Amino acid sequence: MTYKTILTELVDGAIGIVTLNRPEAANALSRQMAEELVGTLHYAETQSNIRVIILTGAGKKAFCAGADLKERQGMDRQQWNAQHHAFEKAVAALMHYKKPVIAAVGGAAIGGGMELAMACDFIYASKTATFGLTEARLGIMPGMGGTQTLSRTIGARRAKEMMFLGHIFGAEEAYDIGLVNRIYAPSSLMEAAVSTALAISGNAPLSVAAIKHAVDEGADEPLAHALQTELRHYNQLLDTKDRHEGVNAFNEKRKPRFTGS
């Protein structure tokens, strides 16, 4: 599909690459970009062949430098709220997307850009990537989930310190605190993200989706409830064709042919 601020690409028939495409503005998040991102994800979710999404940014400078402050200049409260509502929908679309979403961060992921990355299932970063929730420097605060996703990833005390300061940090620190999964040379970032996505796409899609939902739903539940959540998703897989295919392929010593059914 064609958009003005988003580029899409299909790799190997199964991996959807979604690129934030405003490099002249450091891929700053505009209302249009947020709306197009939602549209892209909703479309991709209807395509059974697309099993993994990679979210990245165009150019070498930025993944996403946050909300477009030029667009916000002169906005009244109603206009601001309408723009932010579009941002909220974009984050929700990422968080609730039924299939895996990998963020490939090759530059600055600041403010709303970092919140977009954290809304993905996990993050791969280049050595040149930078991160930071700097909203306190602008008289606002993270409003696209950042106070919650960061604190639940690295702990409340460390997250508060970072957000109070508006601390900007590099890929090594992001890795050390558990924000990013892996670091790569800039030239290798997308290759690594695609390789991981392809490996995931070879597994049973219903299994991968069930794991994602069990982890996300169980994170906010007491352990006893979370274990029941896991079993509920586990039991839903038992009557699937892919469950039978996985067992048969193992016993027949061949590669399984999963169909997502």
Side chain identity at residue 158, one-letter code: R
Side chain identity at residue 96, one-letter code: H
Distance CA 146, CA 155 (A): 12
173 is known as an active-site residue: no
Tokens of 123: 């993050």
115 is known as an active-site residue: yes
Tokens of 48: 């059974």
Going from the C-alpha of 215 to that of each of 212, 218, 219, 226, 230, the distances in angstroms are 5, 5, 6, 8, 8
What pairing do the DSSP bridges indicate for beta strands 52-57 and 15-20?
parallel
Q: Considering 36, 71, 135, 221, which one is annotated as catalytic? A: 135
Distance CA 77, CA 238 (A): 51
Residue 135's SS3 state is helix
Q: Considering 24, 35, 88, 115, which one is annotated as catalytic? A: 115
Which single residue is written with the structure tokens 């299939």?
99
Distance CA 196, CA 199 (A): 5
- Are 258 and 204 a contacting pair, CB within 8 Å? yes
Active site residues: 115, 135
